[in-house]
Amino acid sequence: MSFLKDNSRFCGTGEKNRNGESLEEFLAGYDPKKYDNPSNTTDIVVVCSPEKLERWGQPLKVLLVKRSNHPSIGFWAVPGGFVELKEDLFEGAARELEEETGLKGLPLKQLVTWGEWDRDPRWRVITTSFLALIEGEAPVKAGDDAADALWMDVDLNEEETGENGFFQVWNLSLSCREKNIFLGAKVGITRSGNSLLTQEKYHLIAADGLAVDHGCIITQALLYLKERLK
């Protein structure tokens, strides 16, 4: 059975495969459950600048939600969740952001896919991170499975840099002093390749109060923004 109503753009040359099957015959016998399928989620790093953002170093806030369910219950995370079966990533990210925080209509920049096999105890979960930017004030309200939603003051400082910048350690701090909430993460970045093409690998060294790898996700988004503001 085909997943789509119209398969015309997948016919290729129209010839049959090695088993003598047309596209329709192949799809009729295809079992999508033959192999274990990973689940897909989106995670959205929303950065807020009280004023027009013109340079790195201006005060910034990051939006976090408090998890009300397992895994990482009681910890803080960026908004996000599972993508529905017939929903593209941008739609899923926008929907989850609105459901969990009330924010809607924000332009989203797709950043990185995070695919470590052991990043979620429920199943093999691959997530794609997005960045959204707000200049000015934006009230938020927790919804769906978020127990709370807060703007956190953010600070990102480089602790260590190896030769030629191919290894870095960054300290991420997030806080809401009015509610006495202080969170943090230490994130390592290993780079390989050359000036034309560089592979980056983020790994979590330590975390305090942040869910799973969200310290890495936030750090990568902030470093992307830092590079754009050069």
Task: Select from 135, 157, 114, 111 the least CA-distant residue to 54.
Answer: 135
pLDDT at position 194 is 86
CA dihedral defined by 54, 134, 127, 70, rounded to 10 degrees? Answer: 130
- The predicted model gives 165-175 an average pLDDT of 93
CA dihedral defined by 74, 50, 109, 54, rounded to 10 degrees? Answer: -140
pLDDT at position 29 is 92
User: CA quadruple 102, 105, 111, 117: dihedral positive or negative?
Assistant: positive
- Does the pLDDT at position 112 exceed 80? yes
- Does the pLDDT at position 113 exceed 90? yes
Bridge partners of 110, per DSSP, are 130
- Does the pLDDT at position 2 exceed 90? no
- The answer to whether the peptide bond before residue 121 is cis (omega within 30 degrees of 0) is no
Q: Which fold has domain 39-228?
A: Nucleoside Triphosphate Pyrophosphohydrolase (3.90.79)
- Does the pLDDT at position 230 exceed 90? no
Burial of 144 (0-12, 13-18, 19+ CB in 10 A): middle
What angle (nearest 5°) sits at the alpha carbon of residue 85, between those of residues 79 and 91?
45
What angle (nearest 5°) sits at the alpha carbon of residue 25, between those of residues 24 and 26?
90
Token pair for 182: 């202080």
Ranking 31-35, 36-40, 88-92 by mean pLDDT, the lowest is 31-35
- Note the pLDDT tens digit of each residue in 179-210: 999 999 999 999 998 889 999 999 999 999 99
Burial 200-227 (b: 16+ CB within 10 A, else e): eebebeebebbbbbbbbbbbbbbbbbee
Contact 217, 129 (CB under 8 A): yes
C-alpha distances out from residue 98 to 42, 62, 66, 144, Å: 13, 16, 15, 9
Q: Which pLDDT band holds residue 168 (cuts at 50, 70, 90)?
A: very high
- The predicted model gives 49-66 an average pLDDT of 95
Q: pLDDT over 90 for what percent of the chain? A: 87
- Does the pLDDT at position 165 exceed 80? no
Residue with the larger pLDDT of the pair 144 and 171: 171
- Does the pLDDT at position 223 exceed 90? yes
What angle (nearest 5°) sits at the alpha carbon of residue 221, between those of residues 218 and 223?
110
Q: Which pLDDT band holds residue 144 (cuts at 50, 70, 90)?
A: confident
In the chain, where the domains are located: 1-35, 39-228
